[in-house]
Amino acid sequence: DIQMTQSPSTLSASVGDRVTITCRASQGISRWLAWYQQKPGMAPKFLIYKASTLQSGVPSRFSGGGSGTEFTLTISSLQPDDFATYYCQHYNNFYVTFGQGTRVE
Amino acid sequence: EVQLLQSGGGLVQPGGSLRLSCAASGFTFSASAMIWVRQAPGKGLEWVATVSPNGDIAHYADSVKGRFTVARDNSRDTVSLQMNSLRVEDTALYYCAKGFLLGVVTPADYWGPGTLVTVSS
């Protein structure tokens, strides 16, 4: 199975900060990567697919990048609503896996 | 509006069985793969299973293979997860989710609210 590793596990930031989360795959996955945001007590929200394409309705301060084994999620100017946990997920094959999550606090 | 209404969670003893259901509306159910993802208390997301749009293909995580079965009824826009031989480590919030892309290999764009499964003696 492909392992997904996110860093950091926890990120402390302030409103207005530029924030970057990294996701690494144990083998190449081209650009078959998605990002999700989850707030406490809520279901995950789909943010980005194919590494960098924003899902409809997602604010443009979110951006994704990378290919192969290294990917990033960047929030250009952190807003109060963005404090949450973020997960990457590969969908390179049937056995999709998630990263362990990055909590932005 | 896409809606996924989940039911069927609860408390079960180790070795027991439970069936989760998910009723979908607001999209063409028969055109979408359906996905189950779980989240143990205080932990991250774990993919459990995916079923193809017409139900002929299903894939499972190694942790549940041989114990869980996913099925769908496209005439009723429902998907189910039959869980047998439950273990303490299966305790989690189980999410039903809609596949975003055509086919089985897909991220999930809409998620249900989750249903809690607790396996304990």
**A1 contacts in chain B (CB < 8 Å):** 62
- Is the pLDDT at B104 greater than 90, yes or no? no
Closest CB to B45: pick one of A91, A95, A98: A98
Which residue, among B22, B62, B109, would best test binding to A if mutated, counting the most A CBs under 10 Å from its CB? B109
- Arithmetic mean of pLDDT, B63-77: 98
- Is the pLDDT at B102 greater than 90, yes or no? no
**B95 contacts in chain A (CB < 8 Å):** 43-44
Which has the minimum average pLDDT: A19-23, B75-79, B100-104? B100-104
Tokens (6 digits) for B60: 């499972």
- Arithmetic mean of pLDDT, B51-76: 96
Give the residue from chain A lying closest to B114, CA to CA: A43
**B44 contacts in chain A (CB < 8 Å):** 87, 98-101
Closest CB to B111: pick one of A34, A44, A99: A44
> Cβ contact (<8 Å) for A46 and B110?
yes
CB B40 within 8 A of CB B23: no
CA distance A47 to chain B (A): 8
- Classify the C-alpha dihedral B98-B57-B49-B94 as positive or negative: positive
> Cβ contact (<8 Å) for B107 and A92?
no
Taking Cα atoms as reference points, which of B90, B88, B89 lies closest to residue B120?
B88
Closest CB to B107: pick one of A1, A43, A49: A49
Check if A52 contacts B (Cβ < 8 Å).
no
Which residue, among A2, A10, A95, would best test binding to B if mutated, counting the most B CBs under 10 Å from its CB? A95
Report the share of chain B in percent with pLDDT over 70. 100
Note the pLDDT of residue A1. Answer: 86
Q: Residue-wise pLDDT tens for chain A (105 aa)? A: 899 999 999 999 999 999 999 999 999 999 999 999 999 999 999 999 999 999 999 999 999 999 999 999 999 999 999 999 999 999 998 889 999 999 999
Note the pLDDT of residue A27. Answer: 96
Q: Look at residue B89 and give its three-state secondary structure.
A: helix
Taking Cα atoms as reference points, which of B11, B21, B22 lies closest to residue B90?
B11
CB B26 within 8 A of CB B4: no
Tokens (6 digits) for B55: 């139900």
What Cα–Cα distance (Å) separates residue B34 from each residue in A28, A65, B43, B106, B108?
A: 25, 27, 22, 9, 8
Segment holding B18, helix H or strand E: strand B18-25
Q: How many whole angstroms separate alpha carbon B44 and alpha carbon B40?
A: 7
